[in-house]
């Protein structure tokens, strides 16, 4: 079973590449972030033609998450139970579903904007709610994983130049402590380090030749519980999908399971 996560940075703009990638990669379940569309406009019909069911949590604008699966799609929960609001709005940043023998969450963790900004406090509150929401599944006996754009680089080696991020979000002790608290529920990173590349980044800014110069960050993560990690036969960043015209600024992260 192949499960992946991908921040597509607008599913409308990325649809041809997404459909081609699903066909070529043989992915069974894909967790999608930053759909930038409404649930009504989500391309479920185009995905259905390839054999995928869709579960979507989206309101347009800048957020939106989805799970598409050809391995079953049951017990869908849209949203983050107990999650905080920002400016009085519950942003569409989480969705979970059972896909065959595995339960997965697709998450798009708030960016945080700037240290000290209200959105940074919201990010930490959101991560605490995520930890509380997944704790039972993380400690359970069924393969379970939280996949998505975490907007946190777990280690200094997960950014191209740690000195360039001093004082910025994504690398602060508070964010990394929140990530450690999530791992403490029984989850851990399933992507082996090091990978094929010395710096297996998943995101590169469009500006200033970020990708050609490999000035990236590893912020798209797959955190699985013990049964999930025990079933992992391979895991990698599909860096090739970041290349070329019309690419997202994120690359897919792929995990193969023997389930």
C-alpha–C-alpha distance, residues 233 and 227, integer Å = 12
Please give the DSSP secondary-structure letter assigned to residue 169. Answer: T
HSE (side-chain half, CA atoms, 13 Å) at 37: 19
149 annotated as belonging to a binding site for a ligand = yes
Query: Is position 75 annotated in a ligand binding site?
Result: no
Question: Do the annotations mark residue 151 as ligand-binding?
Answer: yes
Asked whether residue 220 is marked as a ligand-binding residue, the answer is: no
Q: Tokens for 229?
A: 């990690």
**Is the CB of residue 88 less than 8 Å from the CB of residue 118?**
no
- Consult the annotation and say whether 9 binds a ligand: no
To the question of whether residue 7 is assigned a binding role by annotation, the answer is yes
Positions marked active-site: 108, 149, 250
Answer left, alpha or beta for residue 55, where phi above 0 means left and psi between -120 and 50 means alpha.
beta
E strand or H helix that includes residue 176: helix 173-183
Instruction: Spell out the long-range contacts of 46-55 with Cβ–Cβ below 8 A and sequence spacing 24 or more.
Output: 46/15, 46/19, 47/19, 47/22, 50/19, 50/22, 50/23, 52/22, 55/95, 55/97
* Residue positions forming the annotated binding site for Mg(2+): 7, 34, 149, 151, 249-250
């Amino acid at each position: 079973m192949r499960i992946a996560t991908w921040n597509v940075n607008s599913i409308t703009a990325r649809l041809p590449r997404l459909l081609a990638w699903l066909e070529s990669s043989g992915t069974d379940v894909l967790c999608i972030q930053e759909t930038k569309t409404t649930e009504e406009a989500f391309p479920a019909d185009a995905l259905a033609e390839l054999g995928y069911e869709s579960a979507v949590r989206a309101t347009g604008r800048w957020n939106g998450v989805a799970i598409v699966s050809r391995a079953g799609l049951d017990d869908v929960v849209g949203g983050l139970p107990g999650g905080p609001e920002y400016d009085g709005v519950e942003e569409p940043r989480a969705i979970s579903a059972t896909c065959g023998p595995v339960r997965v969450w697709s998450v798009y963790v708030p960016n945080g904007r700037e240290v000290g900004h209200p959105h940074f406090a919201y990010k930490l509150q959101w991560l605490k709610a995520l930890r509380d929401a997944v704790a039972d599944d993380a400690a359970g006996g069924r393969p379970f994983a939280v996949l998505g754009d975490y907007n946190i680089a777990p280690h200094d080696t997960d950014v191209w130049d740690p000195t360039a991020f001093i004082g910025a979000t994504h690398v602060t002790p508070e964010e990394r402590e929140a990530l450690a608290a999530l791992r403490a529920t029984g989850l851990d990173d399933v992507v082996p380090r090091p990978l094929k590349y010395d710096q297996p980044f998943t995101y590169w800014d469009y500006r200033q030749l970020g990708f050609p110069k490999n000035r990236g960050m590893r912020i798209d993560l797959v955190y699985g519980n013990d049964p999930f990690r025990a079933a992992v036969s391979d895991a990698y960043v599909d860096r090739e999908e970041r290349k070329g015209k019309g690419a997202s600024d994120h690359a897919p992260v792929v995990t193969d399971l023997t389930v």
